[in-house]
Amino acid sequence: MSTQEVDRIARDMNYNSLQELLSALPTTPEDRPNSNKVERDSARNRAVGNAAAQRSRPTSMFEGVGSGSLLSNVSPATKRKCVTAQVYFLEYYFDLLTYIHKRKMRLEKFKLDAAHQEWSPEEKAGEWKRYCGKERVYLRKRRTRTRVTHFHILTQVGQGGYGQVFLARKKDTGEICALKKMNKKLLYRHNEIQHILTERDVLTSANSPWLVSLLYAFQDIDNVYLAMEYVPGGDLRTLLNNNGCIAEEYTSFYIAEIVMAVSALHQLGYIHRDLKPENFLIDAAGHIKLTDFGLSTGSISPLKIESLRAKLEAVKDKQVVHRTPVERRSIHRSVRREYIDWAYSLVGSADYMAPEILENIGYDFLVDYWSIGCIMFEFLAGYAPFTAPSMEEVWGNVYHWDEVLERPQFEDGEELSDESWDLITKLITYRDQRYSTVSQIQSHPFFAQLDWDHLRDIKNPPFVPQLESEEDVSHFDDFNNPDDMEMYKDVHLKQQQLEESLTGKDASERLPRSTFVGFTFQHKDQKAWIAKKEQLASTPQEEFGTMF
């Protein structure tokens, strides 16, 4: 809800604006009759203004909360708690005013309807009793916290190092969602709390068709949960595994949508830092959505930074192993088939990660453009540009990228077009030579045939998933299939080792109450969401084309 809408509600309650209404509320000890009203109102208006400004930008950014040397030593966690408190109180009054306004409208409608009815006193009393009963139901729902028991778990669709992802349906609204469940103590023990909070903050900030939406965020004693928009078409990794190389005309479509999705994240003030095909999902209409924001902006833990630097130091003096494109393509397929846990790296994916991140020498949005270049290379060549049989060799290849990166060749003698190779080398290059804006990418000849302003209006994307229902999970791994589970054996082993690490004191220790402060979230427009999903589900599938 916008500030203008809330001000309108406030005016309906005989206040000129939200600020005027807030100033009338005795929320602090100094709000006594003999207080200095001018000073009090001024202070409160400044607080509301700061909170509103913060609400319109990512919570990882702290401008507007204050300035000066006092903030220079404030940790990101403390800044986040401050902004979370501001947003909490602002949204509390948004929600309160909305409820009061709607209750007032319902009462006026009841009185208007009753005035046109010829009810006896007994009938009028009965109708009033029913009306009050409905209002009590509204009040109870406002007091109800979201719990995992409010969801019907349908099947598992994902597995990570700290938890699982399930397809679930919310019982009261019927919403289909991807429910991500993560163990609190594992996250706390392995310094992953900030990553999960960052992911939650990005998801709540997102209001773009290019980014996966968050429906609910909640917690219980043992776990935290993110109930996200379910995107049923699988991810780009599955698309690549099934097809090897992708034709240039189709690659231009996917890379353009990837660029738009990453741009939407950048506009929120976040850098993704861990872009890879697994992070891009295909929706029911065949278009791209970006997900998995755990490493976005914020800061990677010092231990992981030190681990990255140690790995680079260990390989930077080793001689580069030069391999042919055929060898790299074969190695890439073997590695992706046998080591699925690479896709669930707790640090990030070195295959797609820019050198400046690995070296921790300072970086900006340009690191995501490097990753896009690596993904584009894989689309066209059938293997990642720095692929190798071991992670150590991958680190070495990234460090010596200017020696390793070569224009791919194919067994039939074909080569990439000059336009596609030129774009790749504009993205995978030295930082000061790399493309730095979306407009530079959009104007490149590789995208000459694309209408950037109407990408999501394209009715025949290269691949449109054929879905039997909104609960269709055919484009994800089957976690009841032993063959599919064989690929996850290393992931399961890693998770088992993590869980076994929580023994003795760690297992019984209670986390600080403030650990997940500000985590809870519930999206506001449930009815509109359901209507949108129904409209999408009713779109005729025969309208779409497919490259398969």
pLDDT of residue 422: 97
- State residue 393's pLDDT score: 84
Taking the CB of residue 235, how many other CB atoms lie within 10 A of it?
A: 24
In degrees, rounded to 5, the angle at the alpha carbon of residue 530 between the alpha carbons of residues 148 and 208 is 90
Long-range CB contact pairs, 431-437, < 8 A, 24+: 431/354, 431/356, 431/363, 431/366, 434/366, 434/369, 434/370, 435/366, 435/369, 436/365, 436/366, 436/369
Query: Which structure tokens are listed for 492?
Result: 């399961």
Query: Please, what is the Cα angle at 60 between 291 and 514, to 5 degrees?
Result: 95
| CATH architecture, range 236-468 | Orthogonal Bundle (1.10)
DSSP E strand boundaries for 284-399: 288-290
289 is in an annotated binding site: no
Domain range annotation of the chain: 3-143, 148-199+211-232+492-543, 236-468
pLDDT on residue 435 = 96
pLDDT at res. 226: 94
Write the DSSP assignment of 322-350 as a string of letters.
---HHHHHHHHHHHHHH-GGGGG-SS--T
How far from 307 is each of 188, 215, 312, CA to CA, in Å?
Answer: 19, 35, 9
Q: How many CB atoms lie within 10 A of CB 537?
A: 12
State the catalytic residues. Answer: 274
**Which pLDDT score, from 0 to 100, does residue 292 have?**
85
Four-CA torsion 545, 292, 186, 204, nearest 10 degrees: -120
Cα 285 from Cα 297, distance rounded (Å)? 30
Superfamily grouping for domain 148-199+211-232+492-543: Phosphorylase Kinase; domain 1 (3.30.200.20)
The DSSP secondary-structure symbol of 509 reads P
Report the predicted TM-score, pTM, of the whole model to 2 decimal places.
0.73
H or E element at residue 527: helix 526-537
- Cα diameter, the chain: 95
What local confidence, expressed as pLDDT, does residue 432 receive? 92
CB 203 within 8 A of CB 228: yes
- Alpha-carbon distance of 183 to 191, in angstroms, equals 12
For the chain, 548 residues long, the average pLDDT of each consecutive 10-residue run is: 54 55 46 42 44 41 47 71 77 84 92 90 92 90 87 91 89 92 88 85 88 94 93 93 90 97 92 90 96 63 57 62 64 54 51 83 86 96 88 86 89 85 97 94 95 92 93 89 72 68 63 82 71 54 45
Task: Pull the structure tokens for residue 28.
Answer: 């602090």
The encoded tokens of residue 508 equal: 């019984």
